[in-house]
């Protein structure tokens, strides 16, 4: 893949709303810009864990890639469903407000199929001459995309007072539920 295609595809893929971006956005709507450092560390760590592991194992996976991808999608669908339920239930008046954690962002990113796409489709094999430059570009795009989603979350925080935040979290919970359902449906035979 040429550099321009890699840049365009990677950045757009990272900007697309998904479970990790949703958590970063909600975290920022809860804590403002101070949510950014721990959440971006968690996101970068999650992507790095998958990309480096699969980059080393990529050749070994070969034809079993589709089976591995289906298994990851199933686990991711279950995890995102758990997040949706947590996000929905934490807005009830009887529960204290729970803030999005770095651990949730890490696990969500770890199970995000985007990480597999980067590792096994978009990035060149480990050891190729442009591998390190592509990893550096990808990390920069991750920070840029997380910054954008943090700004969106901070915008929610600034423009809406506390009584309007639960509906935003409920909307995010519905979105996460839809992502979970789409992941479940994507592994069903056609």
Mean pLDDT confidence for 149-175: 75
pTM comes to 0.78
The reply to whether 182 falls in a domain is: no
pLDDT band at 49 (very low <50, low <70, confident <90, very high): very high
Radius of gyration from C-alpha coordinates of the chain: 17
pLDDT band (50, 70, 90) for residue 95: very low
Quote the mean pLDDT of the chain.
83
- Position 72 pLDDT exceeds 80: no
Q: What is the mean pLDDT of residues 173-183?
A: 81
Contacts of 133 (CB under 8 A, 6+ apart): none
Is 83 inside any structural domain? no
> The domain containing residue 119 runs over which residues?
3-73+96-163
Q: Tell me the C-alpha distance between 120 and 2, whole Å.
A: 16
Determine the average pLDDT of the residues in 48-69.
76
Residue 181, domain member (yes or no): no
Provide mean pLDDT across the span 162-167: 58
The pLDDT value given to residue 87: 75
The answer to whether residue 79 sits within a structural domain is no
- Flag whether 172 is in a domain: no
Are 78 and 173 within 8 A, CB to CB?
Answer: no
* Beta-carbon-side half-sphere exposure of residue 53 (alpha carbons within 13 Å): 10
**Structural domains counted in the chain:** 1
Q: Could you give the CA distance from residue 79 to residue 181 in angstroms, rounded to a whole number? A: 11
């Amino acid at each position: 893949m040429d550099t321009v295609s890699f840049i365009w595809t990677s950045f757009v893929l990272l900007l697309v709303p998904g479970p990790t971006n949703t958590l970063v956005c909600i975290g920022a709507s809860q804590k403002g810009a101070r949510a950014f450092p721990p959440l971006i560390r968690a996101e970068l760590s999650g992507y790095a864990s998958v990309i480096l592991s699969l980059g080393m194992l990529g050749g070994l996976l070969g034809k079993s890639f589709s089976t591995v991808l289906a298994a990851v999608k199933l686990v991711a669908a279950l995890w995102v469903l758990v997040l949706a339920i947590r996000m929905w239930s934490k807005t009830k008046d009887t529960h204290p407000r729970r803030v999005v954690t770095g651990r949730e962002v890490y696990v969500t990113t770890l199970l995000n199929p985007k990480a597999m796409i980067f590792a096994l489709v978009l990035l060149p094999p480990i050891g190729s001459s442009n591998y390190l430059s592509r990893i550096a570009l990808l990390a920069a795009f991750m920070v840029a995309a997380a910054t954008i989603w943090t700004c969106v979350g901070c915008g929610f925080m600034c423009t809406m007072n506390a009584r309007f935040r639960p509906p935003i979290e409920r909307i995010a919970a519905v979105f996460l539920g839809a992502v979970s359902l789409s992941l479940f449906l994507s592994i069903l035979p056609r």
